């Protein structure tokens, strides 16, 4: 039987959190009342996203508390990045097996490091006893008509991806197989970089955008379905980190890159006329981007090898409880 936390314990944890958060001018009332009061800028749309991390499902059990904190916010900020939105506030629901204050302090180290880096204020949440699980909601803004939606890809658009997809999935394979564990790959799994500046800069330029959480082909297929188009990507164009190249042979690496999840890179489509503009944005935001394919009439996202043959992944992306 799980017990509800004692009031004193719950309030002690909440107080530990409240003491460490930064506020913002648009927070009228943050942690401490029944609800937060927040000012949405006039003329802006409120953008809201939520993601949950469960121990053993969304992160390995040996993940450091600070990395769990970072990742629980990063995956949410990544959703705002994929909308071209600017984050402002977040709320945090913590389900904890016990009142381990050291774990909570470590969690906050990572969570608040990322929150402060992006000027995001933690304005409320909930603290309960149960299996280790973290739900975060982020709130942000985007101007009407500027959001990067999944349903806006057009035939003949280029398909682009940021960063080096496959790193997080590579780390997971190494963790499961208990062989060599590359620290860089593991850092990509534990501390994904939400591509917020890139997403905001693309809002005027890209047509459709999605963040890659379930795997490049699987997530691109969501764009295709919403936009009623097809996509082809060229496997040999997928940008790979040196660490991934060293750790896996080409076939395994390409499978990780095309189908592995958890990278939180942006996959977006844009008119071929805008290639120079996109390269400028990549330089300006310090975010590498690579053109990996194109949008065509039809349906589904498919990958082709260097000789132009259709490539068959073992499985497209990671589905929880599949
Ligand atoms: P209530 O019983 O009214 O829901 P709670 O005791 O759950 O209030 O929370 C008290 C205050 O602490 C609220 O402002 C709530 O938003 C905040 N809070 C609770 N848990 C967290 C958390 N994990 N992170 C941030 N704020 C929290
Ligand atoms: Mg509550």
235 and 256 in contact (C-beta within 8 Å)?
A: no
Tell me the ligand closest to 32's alpha carbon.
1
pTM of the full structure: 0.94
pLDDT tops 80 at residue 313: no
**CA of 210: how far to CAs of 56, 87, 102, 206, in Å?**
25, 16, 36, 11
Separation of alpha carbons 4 and 2, rounded Å: 7
The CATH number of the structural domain formed by 10-142 is 3.30.1330.10
CA distance 112 to 20: 8
Of 124, 133, 138, best ligand 1 pocket probe by most atoms within 8 Å of the beta carbon = 124
Contact between 223 and 161 under an 8 Å Cβ cutoff? The reply is: no
CA of 135 to the centre of ligand 1 (A): 13
Paired with 291 in beta bridges are 160
Average pLDDT over residues 245-260: 95
Quick one: pLDDT band at residue 178, thresholds 50, 70, 90?
Answer: confident
Res. 314 pLDDT band, cuts 50 70 90: low
Residues placed in the known binding site for substrate: 58, 262, 318
Alpha carbons 278 and 198: distance in angstroms, whole number: 10
Cα–Cα distance, 169 to 177 (Å, whole number): 12
pLDDT for residue 46? 98
Q: What is the pLDDT of residues 114-153, one digit of tens each?
A: 999 999 999 999 999 999 999 999 999 999 999 999 999 9
Pocket of ligand 1 (CB under 6 A): 14, 17, 31-34, 92, 94, 122, 124-127
Residue 315 has pLDDT above 70, yes or no: no
Which ligand is the nearest neighbour of the Cα of 89?
1
- Spans of all domains in the chain: 10-142, 157-304
Ligand 2 ion: residues within 5 Å (CB): 126
What fold, for 157-304? Phosphoribosyl-aminoimidazole Synthetase; Chain A, domain 2 (3.90.650)
Residue bearing tokens 């057009």: 154
Q: CA–CA separation, 231 vs 192, rounded Å?
A: 26
Question: Residue 61 has what DSSP assignment?
Answer: T
Test site for ligand 1: of 120, 126, 130, 139, most ligand atoms within 8 A of the Cβ: 126
């Amino acid at each position: 039987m799980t017990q509800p936390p004692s009031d004193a314990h719950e309030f002690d944890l909440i107080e530990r959190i409240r003491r460490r958060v930064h506020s913002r001018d648009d927070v009228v009332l943050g942690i401490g009342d029944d609800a937060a009061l927040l000012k949405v800028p006039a003329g802006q749309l409120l953008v809201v996203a939520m993601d949950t991390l469960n121990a053993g499902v969304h992160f390995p059990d040996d993940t450091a508390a600070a990395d769990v904190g970072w990742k629980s916010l990063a995956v949410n900020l990544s959703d705002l990045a994929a909308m071209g939105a600017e984050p402002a506030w977040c709320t945090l629901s913590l389900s904890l097996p016990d009142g381990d204050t050291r774990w909570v302090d470590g969690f906050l180290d990572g969570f608040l490091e990322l929150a402060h880096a992006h000027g995001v204020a933690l304005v409320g949440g909930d603290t309960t006893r149960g299996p280790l699980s973290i739900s975060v909601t982020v709130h942000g803004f985007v101007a009407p008509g500027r959001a990067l939606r999944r349903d806006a890809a057009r035939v003949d658009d280029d398909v682009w991806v940021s960063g080096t997809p496959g790193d997080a999935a590579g780390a997971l394979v190494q963790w499961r197989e208990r062989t060599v564990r590359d620290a860089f790959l593991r850092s990509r799994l534990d501390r994904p970089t939400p591509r917020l500046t890139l997403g905001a800069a693309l809002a005027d330029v890209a047509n459709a955008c999605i963040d890659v959480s379930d795997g490049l082909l699987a997530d691109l297929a969501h764009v295709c379905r919403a936009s009623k188009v097809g996509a082809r990507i060229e496997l040999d164009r997928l940008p790979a980190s040196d660490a991934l190249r060293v750790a896996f042979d080409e076939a395994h690496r390409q499978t990780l890159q095309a189908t592995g999840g958890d990278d939180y890179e942006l996959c977006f489509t844009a008119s071929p006329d805008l290639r120079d503009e996109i390269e400028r944005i990549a330089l300006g935001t310090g975010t590498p981007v690579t053109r990996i394919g194109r949008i065509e009439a039809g349906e589904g996202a498919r990958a082709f090898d260097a000789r132009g043959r259709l490539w068959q992944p073992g499985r497209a992306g990671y589905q929880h409880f599949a």
